[in-house]
Amino acid sequence: MSDFLALAYPWTKSIHIMAVISWMAALFYLPRLLVHHTERVGLTGETHDLFTMMEYKLSNVIMRPAMIATWVFGLCLVFTPGIVDWSLVWPWTKAVGVISMTVFHEWLTARVNGFANGKNNLTGRQYRMMNEVPTLLMILIVLSVVVKF
Mean residue pLDDT across the chain: 96
* pLDDT band of 2, cuts 50, 70, 90: confident
Domain boundaries of the chain, sorted by first residue: 2-147
pLDDT tens, residue by residue, 65-100: 999 999 999 999 999 999 999 999 999 999 999 999
CB burial class (10 A; 0-12, 13-18, 19+) of residue 7?
Answer: exposed
**Which pLDDT does position 68 carry in this prediction?**
98
Q: How far apart are CA 56 and CA 70, in angstroms?
A: 20
Distance of CA 75 to CAs 32, 69, 95, Å?
A: 30, 10, 11
pLDDT tens, residue by residue, 3-50: 999 999 999 999 999 999 999 999 999 999 999 999 999 999 999 999
DSSP one-letter string for 101-144: HHHHHHHHHHHHHHHHTT-----HHHHHHHTTHHHHHHHHHHHH
Q: How far apart are CA 18 and CA 95, in angstroms?
A: 19
- The predicted model scores a pTM of 0.94
